[in-house]
Structure 1
């Protein structure tokens, strides 16, 4: 590690934490609209009797950092002293080179306190041995509360299963649901619906009630079509330029994850092969994956390599894997999985599909992908496995 003076590190902290100087958090940084995940994170962070650090895991641009700033703003409004709230991004080269311990030392030397502190660490997976020092923080500072984010989940979930047992919980942040999309855009066509209609109840509703429900939702059809196109990424959903949004989705969400995050976290030696695998999965999203066929179509790529790359893409929050299940809900031995891209708009952006919504086949893939994402997100807190059943 390179040595930086406390003064330099403190100046970095002051830049990251403008509320220390009385500068309010802007509405752009902390928008008034809260996602459902925000309330889950807030409940975990402020629980009066169960102390847990919170790890927010999700794809790039789903709003993890926004949730952190909204939590910071809420703490300030509750009267928490400004200098007891610390935000850091571990994507910063100074923090990477200087090390977390040096930054923490500079903060403690400048602002010694025995009061409760709140730490917010962005992109924590870039910190070396992050789970070890978060474990140390949890064990040695009982008044500390902490929220961290990560765009790739392997290290986060592995750490949670080892060092993090009883210390922190991983909260998955999916892309916006269609409900959240409508709420974010404050669409006037939003109907008033009966509360408490889980997905599992839809198939048991009689035709009259189901028709009434669909009639109430019909004004949202054109908005749903756009949602399929731009996806559930908050910043892109608010944009007025859908074509540019798709380009940003391709460059910021996909390219950076494949060409940077996965390469760094998994030590991938052949990034071109990884790109080919993801492109293949985008072309076959919602389809059953045959590894033998896939290997042949990708120039004889080793099946073990294919399996590893698919797992890497899953852990980087770019795809979902749906395993087959029998009618009894149990897994099917030797069954082939289905692959879904994490958001239908990612697939359209990668394949550069123009007006995909006008193609019935493409629309079917986009809708199935979106429905799966909603169900998987709905039941993620219960650690439920969302598979598929295929009648043979």
Structure 2
């Protein structure tokens, strides 16, 4: 409760309003709640505008920019990878801290809900990746096929000499099909992928996946992956995964 009140009352209703030209504090509060409910999903400003008091798209875009500049949300842009064709122009929204989302939505027992737990870990992975590559030349986003099965890759990191894919499968069975986007891209020479990680749940779920891809897909438990990112960043070696 205290965290929820701090975010809504002190950050959104006070700090964000004083820094940006926010004409409707209530709409901003509703928008942030809407984003919490749809975190890790593709965001459509037109849909949000209709669902939130039928307001203008321009207002929604302005409020989104304010929340992003306040470091309350991340916008993951769609990125082209290889020859598969990416979804254009629609970002994914991440609440910057999974704990804030859980507090705002009053989700108490997240550990018993596999879907909510997966969202929380995906958010945490994206947040750590953003922090890890901050100050570098890296571009971060996500990939989603525009056609066929529309499978996606949760995190794409593009550097001059590296292209990294990261897919979160935080569940007891982390198996991925051959039709999953990360598998297809690791088999596509035109994708120029250099590294690929499948983030898993169990501590004993590690190693190379069984798919015979040009670029091996390495299974890494989420706790180990996040620890490595944090430790490397603390040592001042961030940006070199």
Unaligned 5+ segments in structure 1 are: 1-246
Question: Could you tell me how far apart the structure 2 residues matched to 1:333 and 1:294 are?
Answer: 19
Give yes or no for the alignment of 1:299 onto 2:66. Answer: no
- Deviation by residue 1:210-262 (Cα, 9 ceiling, x = unmatched): xxxxxxxxxxxxxxxxxxxxxxxxxxxxxxxxxxxxx2321223431101111
Could you tell me which of 328, 333, 337 is aligned with 2:91? 337
Give yes or no for the alignment of 1:384 onto 2:103. Answer: no
Over 3 Å counting, the alpha-carbon distance change for 1:258 and 1:369 in structure 2 is same
Question: Could you tell me how far apart the structure 2 residues matched to 1:374 and 1:278 are?
Answer: 21
Counterpart of 1:323?
77
Over 3 Å counting, the alpha-carbon distance change for 1:264 and 1:326 in structure 2 is same
Could you tell me which of 216, 235, 250 is aligned with 2:4? 250
- Deviation by residue 1:110-148 (Cα, 9 ceiling, x = unmatched): xxxxxxxxxxxxxxxxxxxxxxxxxxxxxxxxxxxxxxx
Give yes or no for the alignment of 1:289 onto 2:9. Answer: no
Counterpart of 1:372?
126
Structure with the bigger percentage of helix: 1
Displacement of 1:326: 0.5
Structure 1 or 2, whichever has the larger Rg, is 1
Give yes or no for the alignment of 1:357 onto 2:117. Answer: no
Paired residue secondary structure (2:100): helix
Question: Could you tell me how far apart the structure 1 residues matched to 2:104 and 2:136 are?
Answer: 31
**Where do residues 1-392 of structure 1 align in structure 2 (5 Å cutoff)?**
247-328=1-82, 334-392=88-146
Over 3 Å counting, the alpha-carbon distance change for 1:383 and 1:249 in structure 2 is farther
List, as ranges, runs of 4+ consecutive aligned residues in structure 1 with deviation greater than 6 Å.
none
Unaligned 5+ segments in structure 2 are: 147-241
How many equivalent residue pairs? 145
- Taking only aligned residues, the RMSD between alpha carbons, in angstroms, comes to 2.0
- Deviation by residue 1:68-101 (Cα, 9 ceiling, x = unmatched): xxxxxxxxxxxxxxxxxxxxxxxxxxxxxxxxxx
Does the Cα contact within 8 Å between 2:8 and 2:29 map onto a contact in 1?
A: no
- Deviation by residue 1:177-207 (Cα, 9 ceiling, x = unmatched): xxxxxxxxxxxxxxxxxxxxxxxxxxxxxxx
